Amino acid sequence: MKTADVLLQRARQWDETALAHIYDTYAPAIYRYVYRRTGHTNTAEEITAETFHRFLVALKQGGGPTDYLSAWLYRVAHNLIVDFYRRQPAQEPATLEDVILADGDHGVEHLARQTQVERARAALRQLTPLQQQVITLRFLEEMSHEEVARVVERTEGAVKALQHRALNSLRRLLEEENEV
């Protein structure tokens, strides 16, 4: 039996050591995933906390994952990210003056980096939620096709097809933006 399965069994019995180990093991990866999707530290912290809160509530109610704990946690985090974006009003981008004043001599460099990151995030947000999730898990979280398939509850072949279509769409979106 794998370590994750043993931990999950112990967590279902409300073993505090197992619960703490699960949090210590998975929270940093969930936080990174959420941060990469949202770009906001506070939001990433809140969604990570809510993900683990939902895990505890599910266990307490006799539900939650029976296997593939990591996939279950990523699915919950993904759903919370989708909810976050549904509630968000469109934000105005920072002006050049704001960035330079806030960051001193490094303002222009920071603005250039931030602009590239925001362009990539904006293009990623134009993909379907499932395509966004596949791209983030594959390339930012460096998961295998098999691991991504577990998280999104699809076959490996479907994940590969989603990845292919998403990368083509991202390429097209970024090229269109460069032409403007």
Phi and psi at 114, nearest 5°, equal -65, -35
70 domain residue, yes or no: yes
56 domain residue, yes or no: yes
Mean pLDDT to the nearest integer, 75-99: 74
79 domain residue, yes or no: yes
> 117, 77, 86: which is closest to 99 by C-alpha?
117
Supply the CATH number for residue 66's domain.
1.10.1740.10
Residue 136 · residue 38 · CB < 8 Å = no
More confident residue, 96 or 51: 51
115 domain residue, yes or no: no
pLDDT at 175: 87
Would you say residue 1 has pLDDT above 70? no
DSSP class per residue in 28-92: HHHHHHHHHHH--HHHHHHHHHHHHHHHHHHHHTT-S-SS-HHHHHHHHHHHHHHHHHHHPPPPP
Band of residue 70 on the pLDDT scale cut at 50, 70, 90: very high
117 domain residue, yes or no: no
Overall number of domains in the chain: 1
163 domain residue, yes or no: no
pLDDT at 92: 52
Band of residue 94 on the pLDDT scale cut at 50, 70, 90: very low
157 domain residue, yes or no: no
More confident residue, 158 or 114: 158
pTM exceeding 0.85: no
Would you say residue 2 has pLDDT above 90? no
19 domain residue, yes or no: yes
More confident residue, 26 or 174: 26
> 46, 56, 55, 48: which is closest to 77 by C-alpha?
48
Range of the domain at 1: 1-91
Per-residue pLDDT tens digits for 115-163: 787 888 888 889 998 999 999 999 988 999 999 999 999 999 999 999 9
Choose the weakest-confidence range: 48-52, 96-100, 154-158, 169-173.
96-100
Q: Which residue has the tokens 């069994």?
A: 9
Per-residue pLDDT tens digits for 5-46: 888 999 999 999 999 999 999 999 999 999 988 888 999 999
